[in-house]
Structure 1
Amino acid sequence: MKNKTIPPSSNKPGLSGGKALLLGAGAALLVSALAVRYKTQQAEMENPPTGKFIDVDGVRLHYVERGRGQPVVLLHGNGSMTRDFELSGIVDLATDDYRVIVFDRPGYGHSERPRSTIWSPQAQAGLLQQALQKLGVERPIVVGHSWGTLVALAMALDYPSAVRSLVLLSGYYYPTARLDVPLLSAPAVPVAGDLLSHTVSPLIGRAMWPGILKQLFGPAQMPQHFEEFPVWMVLRPSQLRASAAESAMMIPAANMLSKRYKELKMPVVIRCGEDDRIVDAHAHSERLHRELPQSDFALTPGIGHMIHHLVPHQVMEAIDRAAKASQPARVISEHVHRATTHLN
């Protein structure tokens, strides 16, 4: 009787190509997750909170406060934090004449962003308005940069008596097409987004960082002081998710707010770089100026999106204009008060 021959291939130990590929991908994700966790912990250790905390509706907000006088509230853009305004020099310039409050908006820097809330501009405006009331801040000049302009506008529209005037820098105000939205929104997708933000997204973001800076500052060169900006604070999984969520809601948020711009009655100062590569200055800032007769508008040629870093003195001049534009009503009120007192 002849012995059956067993095929050599069935006797060899090993994994199929598909299983090996899956194991390799899993190992790569694990290594990425460990690297991201290490860089996140390192970033938070090297960049501790520099301001104070306030609890509003169960949300812990971090803010920096300096100076005295007429209050000025600074709201940073998408993916940023209080450090952005501090590095720009705006906080130092404004402190001489104003009481300056800079918030880490929900999910950025050291502020919380509970997932139970959809953090639209209106939701953030309501939270920040409550925070300002707790801090005893009355009728501030509200300054917003980029995505922060949507929050500033929501504050002015929903709480008009609580906002003295607006300064809007490099803002996105109307629902125009954005090719970058699908790409930047990925970390906000449930489950898959969490996996991405804890593994590959921060590493991809770090590799893309030099190109991102060219887009943000171009055509001008990035100022040397911005090298101190803590990039890995921006690339933490929690902040990437916040940034992705705001990218996803940017167009619908602008669509909703733009229907109400004509309700604005307070002074509005609009500033932007004419060569902004992130937001079309003519389609947004110039259009908003045409819609608001009381607005003060100026374009700066050769300047990109990060106007507060590139021409901080011009931004400071815009804040001064916003303060002066709202001054006559106060002067008249004081004059009437003095006259009444004299008659009595």
Structure 2
Amino acid sequence: MARSFKKTGASPGKAGAIAAAATAAVLTALWVQHRARKAERENPPVGRFVEVDGVRLHYIEKGQGAAVVLLHGNTVYLQDFIGSGLFDRLAENHRVIAFDRPGFGYSERPRNRVWTAQAQAVLLKKALAKIDVERPVLVGHSWGTLVALGMAVDAPSFVRGLVLVSGYYYPTARLDVALTAPAAVPLVGDVLRYTVSPLTGRLLLKRTVKAMFAPAPMPENFFDVMPREMMLRPIQIRAEAEDAAFMIPAAAHFRHHYSKFSMPVSIFAGAGDLVVDVEAHSARLHREISHSTLTVSPGAGHMVHYTLADEIVDAIDSMSDHATMARPTPAVAEST
């Protein structure tokens, strides 16, 4: 007599595979958490903390004189301005402050709010007021330019001048946003940040940084100044993914305000930038802000502040020395 059987669940082989995958995920998450804690033990905070609206922000400060605020881009954190030399050089004649933006380095990024460029600008402006910073020159690199623009749009009288380096200023389609966005999604992103993302990050980080510098070489001491394990922590991966997701909407919002800027604006870019197209963003912004200056380095890429440090310092000096200076003559310069 033939007998019929009903399937009551997954086969033993499939159930074993699921259990093995779950175990591997848990072990990977524990390893990732261990590496993140180890990175923080080996690389303690180098600066101070200020708490604003329940968020603890990490920053460094040095020097005296007119204030300059440095806002880093995605992937990196405030040590980028130490590695480029800008922080120490500016501190010779200025009071210079560099923040870890929320979720980067040692700054917190609570999950109970949406961290748009505008939200970060509001929070950092409050932090600056709390440490008695008035009318600073804002220096933004890459994603940090969006935070600088947020302050300039919402509080133009607060901003003495804008120095925008390798920025993204107009909404365009971005493949990197689509690839990064899943790590920003709740639950799914949590799994990715503790499993797949840190592992792929270890494989791709050096190549990514080299592409950011290209065609210039990556400095040999880059990862000594900015340890890679700090960039691979789950909290920073989430910050990077969320910032990528908010980048296009921020540019779409700010683009309507550029022609209204009256403060001095200096724009810097690398002609070989593989991250942001110079003509579509920096050159276009220069044309729209008629009193701005644009300096393009033919031998540099996205990390042009390493190549054009002297020119950036000169631009900041000119903005700081004369609070009521006349608008600069429109110009496009090339630096070798």
TM-score (norm 1): 0.89
Is the aligned partner of 1:203 residue 2:199? yes
Partner of 2:307: 310
Measure, in 2, the Cα distance between the counterparts of 1:144 and 1:206.
Answer: 27
AA partner of residue 25 (structure 2): L
Q: Which residue of 2 aligns with 1:259?
A: 256
More helix by share: 1
Which residue number in structure 2 is paired with residue 240 of structure 1?
237
| Map of 1:160 onto structure 2 | 156
Work out the CA distance in 2 between the residues paired with 1:301 and 1:327: 32
Cα offsets for 1:275-302 (capped at 9, x unmatched): 1000001100000000001101111002
- Segments of structure 1 that go 5 or more residues without pairing to the other structure are 7-13, 330-344
Q: Which residue of 2 aligns with 1:109?
A: 105
What is the RMSD computed on CA atoms of the aligned residues?
1.8
3-state SS of paired residue (1:113): coil
CA distance in 1, matches of 2:130, 2:215: 42
Fraction of identical pairs, as percent:
51
Q: Which residue of 2 aligns with 1:144?
A: 140
Equivalent pair of 2:319/2:325 in contact (CA under 8 Å): no
> 1-side partners of 2:35 and 2:307: how far apart?
29
Partner of 2:325: 328
Partners of 2:152 and 2:159 within 8 A in 1: yes
Q: Secondary structure at the match of 1:182?
A: helix
What SS does structure 1 have at the residue aligned with 2:183? helix
Q: In the alignment, residue 244 of structure 1 is paired with which amino acid?
A: A
Q: In structure 1, what is the equivalent of residue 333 of structure 2?
A: none
Contact 1:202 1:235 in 2 (8 A): yes
Aligned to 1:25: 21
- Indicate which of 36, 40, 44 corresponds to 1:40: 36
The alignment of Structure 1 onto Structure 2 pairs a total of residues equal to: 319
Compute the displacement of 1:225 (Å).
2.6
Q: What SS does the corresponding residue of 1:33 show, helix, strand or coil?
A: helix
Q: 2: distance between equivalents of 1:116 and 1:267? A: 36
Residue number among 61, 79, 93 corresponding to 1:83 in the alignment = 79
Alignment of structure 1 residues 56-67 onto 2, 5 Å = 56-67=52-63
Amino acid at match of 2:94: Y
Please state how far the C-alpha of 1:236 moved relative to its aligned partner. Answer: 0.6
The 1:67–1:20 alpha-carbon spacing in structure 2 relative to 1, beyond 3 Å, is same
Task: Return the offset for 1:325.
Answer: 6.3
In 2, distance between residues paired with 1:105 and 1:35? 26
Q: Which moved more, 1:181-190 or 1:65-74?
A: 181-190
Larger radius of gyration: 1
Residue in 1 aligned with 2:292?
A: 295
Residue in structure 1 matched with residue 70 of structure 2 by the alignment: 74
Equivalent position amino acid for 2:265 in 1: V
Where in structure 2 are there 5+ consecutive unaligned residues? 4-9, 327-336
Residue 272 of structure 1 contacts residue 300 of structure 1 at CA under 8 Å; is this kept in 2?
yes
Please name the residue that 1:175 is paired with: 171
Structure 1 partner of 2:222 = 226
- 1:324 deviation in Å? 4.7
* SS class of match (2:280): helix
Distance 1:284 1:179 in 2: 17
Give, in whole Å, the separation in 2 of the partners of 1:247 and 1:21.
34
Instruction: Give the alignment's TM-score, normalised by structure 2.
Output: 0.91
Q: Is the CA contact (8 Å cut-off) linking 1:267 and 1:326 kept in structure 2?
A: no
Q: Is the CA contact (8 Å cut-off) linking 2:117 and 2:246 kept in structure 1? A: no
